[in-house]
Amino acid sequence: MSPDKFLIMRHELLLTAVVLVVLIAEVFSHPDKKGKIITLSVICFGIITALGFLPSAEGEIFGGMYVSSGSRLMMKNILNIGVMLVFLQSVDWLRKAENSDKISEYFILLISTLIGMNFMISSGHFLMFYIGLELATIPIAALAAFDKYRNNSAEAGIKLILISALSSGILLYGLSMIYGTLGTFYFKEIAVSFSNSNLQILGFIYFFTGMAFKISIVPFHLWTADVYEGAPINITAYLSVISKGAAVFIFIIVLFTVFPVIIATWQKAIYLTSILTMTIGNLFAIRQQNLKRFLAFSSISQAGYILLGFIGGNQLGMASVIYYILVYIFSNLGAFGVVLAISNASGKENIDDYNGLYHTNPKLSLIMMLALFSLAGIPPVAGYFGKFFLFTAAAEKGFYPLVIIAVLNTIISLYYYLLIVKAMFLLKNESPIEKFKSSMYTRFALGLCVAGIVVTGFASALFEFIRNLSFGI
Amino acid sequence: MITGVPVQYFLILATLMFFAGVYGFLTRRNLITMLMATELILNSVNINFMAFNRYLYPQKMEGMFFSLFVIAVAASEAAVAIAIIINIYRRFATINVEDVNQMKF
Amino acid sequence: MINFGYTIWILLLPFLMFLLLGLAGHKLKPKLSGLLGTAGLGIITVLSYITAYKYFFTSEKVDGAYQKIIALNGVWLQLTENLHIDIGILLDPISVMMLIVVTTVSFMVHIYSIGYMHGEKGFERFFAFLSLFSFSMLGLVVATNIFQMYIFWELVGVSSYLLIGFYYTKPSAVRASKKAFIVTRFADMGFLIGILILSFNTKTFDFISLTSLTGPAITQTGGAAFMGLSVLTWSMIFVYMGGVGKSAMFPFHIWLPDAMEGPTPVSALIHAATMVVAGVYLVARMFPIYSLAAPDALNVVAYVGAFSSLLAAVIACTQTDIKRVLAFSTMSQIGYMMLALGVSGYGGHDGLGYMASMFHLFTHAMFKALLFLGAGAIIHAVHSNHMTEMGGLRKYLPITHATFLIACLTIAGIPPLSGFFSKDEILTAALHHNKLLFAVEYAVAGLTAFYMFRLYFSIFWGKETHYHHTPHEAPALMTIPLIILAIGSVFAGFIPFSKLVTSDGMPFESHIEMSVAVPSVLIGLIGIGIAFIMYRKETAIPDRLAAAFKYSYKWSYNKFYVDEAYIFITKNIIFRYISTPIAWFDRHIIDGTMNSIAFVAQLVSFRIRGFQSGQLQKYGFVFVTGAISLAILLIYLWK
Amino acid sequence: MDILTLFVVIPVLTMTAILFVRDIKHVRVAAAIGMGIQLILAAVLVFSYLAARKAGASDEMLFVRDYLWFKNPNIHYAIGVDGISVAMISLTSIVVFAGIFASWEVEFLTKEFFVSLILLATGVFGFFISIDLFTMFLFYELAVIPMYLLIGIWGSGPKEYSAMKLTLMLMGGSALILAGLLGIYFNSAPDGGQFTFNILEISKITIPISAQRLFFPLTFVGFGVLGALFPFHTWSPDGHASAPTAVSMLHAGVLMKLGGYGAFRVAIFLMPEAAAELSWIFIILTATSVVYGAFGAIVQKDLKYINAYSSVSHCGLVLFAILMMNQTALNGAVIQMISHGLMTALFFALIGMIYGRTHTRMISEMGGLMKVIPFLSVCYVIAGLASLGLPGLSGFVAEMTIFVGAFQHTDVFHRVVTIVAVSSIVITAVYILRVVAILLLGPTTDEHHEHLTDAKWFEKVSVVTLIGSVAGIGLAPYWLSTMIGTSMQPVVEKILSVNPF
């Protein structure tokens, strides 16, 4: 196998390179010049994000363990964009004194999880998939526990690592059954020889729960809120957008390519869980005061909506899911970016701290409102188009009851999103968050988010592009 | 071929180990013990893989490799988990899982 | 064929005048705006007299019958392919006759008002409203189709509302105007429903095709029956309901007495001469249908008319407010007209009642307007309209006295005054048709004479009350109209109505039947006599009588408590038992449901928060249970 | 740039202009100019439309433009107008224009206020011009969402509550609509072929009746929520009571019409079979809301509540007429939308002006204002008369068309219900005159009200514009009703083709 074949895994290689660069920089940089590392790594990552868009060969290596195709490349690029935004947003946070000695850890861990996700996405074999999964999970636990001196952070870390261990255990157990019945781990071979025996279905369901854990689908979502609340905000953002996005990507790929035979089964499973996820997520979100926890539940209900794209098993569905993840990255990172900026400036994370925010920080409030409207699916911002396509995808296969339940759920979510808008615009506050000016990085990131939120919707070419790359059963 | 030991035995053992692990995870209060329980689960999976590989598909070694990787991953997982547990101990002065519930509802 | 195109100005002029005075009135000098209004109306009056002359004496008749002439007509609103609302001008005997009546009286009132309203606040507003009213009334009169009539019907309603409430700072006036509008509005709803049913069955609004003997209304009188009456009958009854409302027949008469809160000229114009007879005019307009296709409806007309006239006459005997007495007498007289229509047949000499009713409408307009204007002059003089505060005014107000006396004699039906002729015709018609109704009307004739002269004596004779300042005769602007109208009411009787205004346009011979005339004159004289005895000089007789018939007196004095019944219905039933519950229901039940949805969501969200207990092992438990139950469900239960 | 797209572009430009000017005065001037241009544009549209018709353009929709937006799902930016939408557009531009002047004195966050107001207007205009269900729905929600901020920030009373309730209920309606639209889309090609959102194309085919039975109620109720369909009208009293003047004007005057228009254009036009089948339910509901709203208005004490309930009654009449599904009734429905839009906007404008002077909306706390502020009072009386259907003002035309049209039904049920609806004209008279009597006539009750100042110039502009249009329609309804009627032909033909009455 000629070495240039390895260029297929360009994303992973580049990311690894960045990790190494950061590592070396960490080793050789002067202790009080660590701040430079931030710039360095951000720039490096920016470069590789750009490089990711270069045309790349498709194909497989390692005997089909690693598959690279247009859609998967696009997914990786989408994730890259998201991580780029996260990095930009977390600059201010990293510059704080208490993080000065952990800068490179942050980047290394984060990028290595991204590597894991990339492998996971382009895996053609369950071993590769599993490695990617774990690589994408374990460092995040460390990141969640990043703030050594905060109880919540540690708690978040332990909860995440233990539950993920449990879930991966269950997932593996399922895999072992599938292996036992079919004797292979290759997606292709499983797809062809998969029959409808109970054992296989059991195996599939255990696999399903493992993925459900990553996407935080009810009833496998309970860790989400606590971890999101405890972890540092940008880690939460990362969890809620990137790792969830990656899981969604690989999940839809696996469902469509590996388990098309038992579509009837997983449609039922998704039918139930999506309804549960939307409703429970919304119902919990109503009551939240802490914004991170609030956004955690909102992201749970979002996962419920995303499942509507799965259920049809159709090309439109996959397209709308990928598209929605893109939109969701912009919207959610917009919201988290505002939360992060404010928490950096004032340390406030509760909704009623935001009262009267508009009068002191109009720009931030407007961005927040835009992001929330996008999450709620209000036109003309991108979220509206995303949701519309998801619902269309479900309706195309005639799941009208599900669609109706979903649209009614959007009303509940609109309600709690409006609660924040209300706090920012309507309510008065005797001691509002005073006016502040955040760093160029943050503003750039937020600018990108706003641009994404506004443009992504109208740019029909983008959706067409995604749609052409995606496939149905 | 291990004479006289049919594959079912291994599967039964694995299943018992699996549920023992799950039970342990759900009932033991000590974080370390819970971690060990998860190891139990993973190992049951390993047994499954090996047994299947050895009995049903002896010509290919996938199961074996998979279990190797599982062991490795489990080790790293344990490493991270232990580190966090230590931090927990620093912060909470206990590793009883029931006391680690500051964030709820 | 004569060109009547110019008649458009009869409608346009007052409308323009209304716009002018309404929009720019407050900029003009009051005097000027008054003159403008009056001048405008003068022109219209001239125009209508010309029209009348041309119509009656120069327009050719088809085999002796006056034709219905459409002067001009234009589609105002297309509803369905064959239903369209037109605005146009229809000339036939009754409309031309009404033109004369309306313009004449209105012109008189305009002149009178310049004097009467002198120095009032909102002088120009008054004339603007008068112009609006004249416009609406004329439009109603010349309507070519029933919907145009309805349109102007509403407009006269509103202009009467505006004029009654002219003194808008006076709560009683406000109340009265509101009452008048709502009561008539209710009746108009009936009218509208009638129109709907009628047009649904005949597919036309047009009067000519409606009333033509070969038209759909009369030929296809069948249709689904309801409670034994044909659809057409029902529609005509509904239409008549509108007439009942406008013409203050029982049970919708309650607004008329209160309407006297308006300025007296208004009462004279709207609530005596013109608007209140719109109901009569409506029935006359639809008469062929009533008479040929819906006789039951016609009977309703007759009995309602008779009963109202009797009721009104009885009430009038005990009222002390002179304007209210006149109001009730108006109601009574209109009852006469209705009855006359009700007892009339169609065509030729059977149409006597019809002719008589129109005749009476004409004469009544003259003398009732005269009475009201006279009353206005009196009130102007003594600043009160309670006859108890008057007496012996004859020496102070000679002209008013003379004219008022003439009017009283006329209404009492003393020959050779005009009232005698018209009333005599009515009684004749009634006698030939229905003895009972005849008897009622006969009694009413007596009562009329009595209460009119009760009024007359207690104002101009009776006890000399000492006034704060000696009353003085009204200015010429007010007396001249009085005189003109007096002349009118003296001589109007000699107009050969049966030659001009008949049910089918065919002139016929009518003559005084002594068998009717003599008794009616007699009873009139008797009534006058009694009044003379009781009120010529103040005596104790009235009080003793009142004491003797305590209850009947009380009932009559309180107008038989019809108002109270209405107040009960509106205040209690509608406000307390319908609207308030509905409002409550809306706020608490329906809105409550909407809010309770939100509440339930909150509640559930609070109840299920136990799942998120923060206990890692509970999470794991839920996780595992979820996985297993999902497996069981999908493998065994829902395969 | 075709004329219809301008209707969306100009407001956007106006918004940007507002964002860039500094001074409050310039803000409102910019808004006024922008909407003035819009008004002129509307006039131009009306005339060019009539000219095109006169020139014999016989298509159902004129000025049609169709740009592909998303290939699959087959979404276009498709616009076009017929007489109905032309009428609605001119209504909107009039009301918006008046609304700008009515809110001339907004001091708090002026810039934001005008931006959101015009954003709302943008949505409405876009809704009326679009013939593609997706874009239509997009504009629909675009029009609804600014209400939250408009009421929540600039409102009065329990504004947060009202704003939230209004937004959620309307969005609930639009959620149903969304489901309905998807249903229509995926049934838009029963015999194979490309699915489409284009109303005209869908109207050519018949959606399977089984699908109609599911999606007609969804769409009709969805739009009905905005059209104040009983029992989904309860956002209306609170919302109107809390909203600032201009917002009440736009909302009652224009936004609620989106409901009627949508119910007509989508629910009835595209799914006539199911409409004919299920209409009786909704006819009963709407007839109820006609009478019910009127009765509810009688005993209200707050001016805006009275108007909100009268709006419930009048908009109920709109939906009622739409459900009658014959030429005349549908004409009446559209005319009623326009007339009610104008007069209720007039009402709310006047209420706002009176409130601005007396600082109360409780009729019991006011009285005899006619003496003090004659101009406003007279205008209020005129609005009242229009609302109780006085001939010569627009209300009469609309109501009579509806009643006559509805009464042309051959079956008795419709006629009886019509008579029930007719009874509303009396009840309306009762509450209108009650208010006029208490509020304007009689002696002045509160001595503080003795020295109020009458309308300022901008208030006069706003009010006179509206009264002018009300009277214009009332005096010469012929051209309007024919313009609507001709455009109504294809709709009626489609309806009659499936269920001849």
- Three state DSSP letters for D464-501: HHHHHHHHHHHHCCHHHHHHHHHHHHHHHHHHHHHCCC
Chain B CA closest to residue A165: B38
For C461, the token pair is 């004779």
Contacts of C620 in chain B (CB under 8 A): 22, 25-26
Sign, CA torsion C378/C379/C380/C382: positive
What is the distance between the alpha carbons of residues A37 and A21, in angstroms, rounded to a whole number? 10
Calculate helix-pair angle for D303-324, D272-298, nearest 10 degrees: 160
> With an 8 Å Cβ cutoff, are A378 and D163 in contact?
no
User: What pairs with residue D198 in β-bridges?
Assistant: D132
User: What pLDDT was estimated at residue B66?
Assistant: 92
User: What pLDDT was estimated at residue D361?
Assistant: 86
Query: Please, which chains are in contact with C (at least 3 CB pairs closer than 8 A)?
Result: A, B, D
What is the distance between the alpha carbons of residues D117 and D111, in angstroms, rounded to a whole number? 10
> With an 8 Å Cβ cutoff, are C196 and D234 in contact?
no
3-state SS assignment for residue A30 = coil
* Residues of chain A numbered 284-303 and touching chain B (CB < 8 Å): 287, 293
For C606, the token pair is 């609070």
Domain interval for residue D488: 3-497
pLDDT in tens, A138-187: 999 999 999 888 889 999 999 999 999 999 999 999 999 999 999 899 99
> With an 8 Å Cβ cutoff, are A392 and D160 in contact?
no
Average pLDDT over residues A364-370: 93
ipTM score of the complex? 0.90
**Which of B66, B92, B97 has the highest number of chain A CBs within 10 A, making it the mutation to test binding with A?**
B66
Q: Which residues of B touch A (CB under 8 A)?
A: 14, 18, 21-22, 25, 31, 34-35, 38, 41-42, 44-45, 48-49, 52-53, 56-57, 60, 62-63, 65-66, 69-70, 73, 76-77, 80-81, 83-85, 87-88, 90-92, 100-105
User: What pLDDT was estimated at residue C513?
Assistant: 80
Model confidence at C66: pLDDT above 90: no
Domains in chain B (CATH in brackets) are 7-92 (1.10.287.3510)
pLDDT in tens, B15-72: 999 999 999 999 999 999 999 999 999 999 999 999 999 888 888 888 999 999 999 9
User: What pLDDT was estimated at residue D158?
Assistant: 87
Model confidence at A323: pLDDT above 90: yes
For B28, the token pair is 């033991």
Contacts of C76 in chain D (CB under 8 A): 477-478
Model confidence at C572: pLDDT above 80: no
Q: Which of C182, C215, B22 is nearest to A162 (CA)?
A: B22
> With an 8 Å Cβ cutoff, are B69 and A151 in contact?
no
pLDDT in tens, D195-253: 999 988 888 888 888 889 999 999 999 999 988 888 888 888 888 888 888 888 888 88
pLDDT in tens, D434-471: 888 888 888 887 777 777 888 888 888 888 989 999 99
The region of weakest confidence among A171-175, C219-223, C255-259 is C219-223
Domain interval for residue A307: 3-467
Average pLDDT over residues C454-479: 80
Q: Is D64 exposed, middle or buried (0-12, 13-18, 19+ CB in 10 A)?
A: middle
Model confidence at B8: pLDDT above 80: yes
Our answer on whether C and B touch (3+ beta-carbon pairs < 8 Å) is: yes
Chain D CA closest to residue C580: D299
pLDDT in tens, D5-29: 889 999 999 999 988 888 888 888 8
Distance from CA of C599 to the nearest CA of A (A): 11
Query: Please, which chains are in contact with A (at least 3 CB pairs closer than 8 A)?
Result: B, C, D
> With an 8 Å Cβ cutoff, are C630 and A209 in contact?
yes
User: What pLDDT was estimated at residue D443?
Assistant: 83
What is the distance between the alpha carbons of residues C429 and C334, in angstroms, rounded to a whole number? 16
* Residues of chain C numbered 571-610 and touching chain B (CB < 8 Å): 609
Q: Which residues of D touch A (CB under 8 A)?
A: 69-73, 75, 134, 138-139, 141-142, 145, 148-149, 152-153, 159-160, 163-164, 167-168, 171-172, 175-176, 178-179, 182-183, 185-186, 214, 218
How confident is the prediction for chain A on average, in pLDDT? 91
User: What pLDDT was estimated at residue C224?
Assistant: 58
What is the distance between the alpha carbons of residues D284 and D277, in angstroms, rounded to a whole number? 14
Our answer on whether D and C touch (3+ beta-carbon pairs < 8 Å) is: yes
Confidence of residue A133 (pLDDT cuts 50, 70, 90): very high
Model confidence at B1: pLDDT above 60: no
Our answer on whether B and D touch (3+ beta-carbon pairs < 8 Å) is: no
Model confidence at C221: pLDDT above 70: no
Distance from CA of C237 to the nearest CA of D (A): 15
pLDDT in tens, D304-354: 899 999 999 999 999 999 998 888 899 999 999 999 999 999 999 999 888
> With an 8 Å Cβ cutoff, are C169 and D368 in contact?
yes
Contacts of A183 in chain B (CB under 8 A): 52, 56-57, 60, 62
Confidence of residue B102 (pLDDT cuts 50, 70, 90): confident
User: What pLDDT was estimated at residue C1?
Assistant: 57
Model confidence at C399: pLDDT above 90: no
Q: Which of B11, B52, B43 is nearest to B24 (CA)?
A: B43
Confidence of residue C192 (pLDDT cuts 50, 70, 90): very high
The C-alpha angle A259, A260, A265, rounded to 5 degrees, equals 75
Chain C CA closest to residue A163: C620
Model confidence at A384: pLDDT above 60: yes
User: A282 vs C575, which has greater pLDDT?
Assistant: A282
What is the distance between the alpha carbons of residues A39 and C503, in angstroms, rounded to a whole number? 105
**Which of A390, A420, A422 has the highest number of chain D CBs within 10 A, making it the mutation to test binding with D?**
A422
Model confidence at C105: pLDDT above 80: yes
Bridge pairing between strands A66-68 and C229-230: unpaired
User: What pLDDT was estimated at residue C504?
Assistant: 81
The C-alpha angle D167, D349, D298, rounded to 5 degrees, equals 80
Q: What is the pTM of this model?
A: 0.91
Chain A CA closest to residue B73: A134
What domain count does chain D have?
1
Average pLDDT over residues C191-211: 88
Calculate helix-pair angle for A126-144, A198-215, nearest 10 degrees: 30
Which residues, other chains included, contact A176 with Cβ-Cβ below 8 Å and sequence gap of 6+?
A203, B14, B45, B48, B49, B52
Q: C229 to each of C234, C285, D456, how far by Cα in Å? A: 7, 22, 59
For A242, the token pair is 């990137």
Residue A472 lies in a domain: no
Our answer on whether B and A touch (3+ beta-carbon pairs < 8 Å) is: yes
Which residues, other chains included, contact C439 with Cβ-Cβ below 8 Å and sequence gap of 6+?
none
What is the distance between the alpha carbons of residues A340 and A442, in angstroms, rounded to a whole number? 9
What is the distance between the alpha carbons of residues C306 and C445, in angstroms, rounded to a whole number? 12
What domain count does chain A have?
1
Model confidence at C57: pLDDT above 80: yes
User: What pLDDT was estimated at residue C135?
Assistant: 92
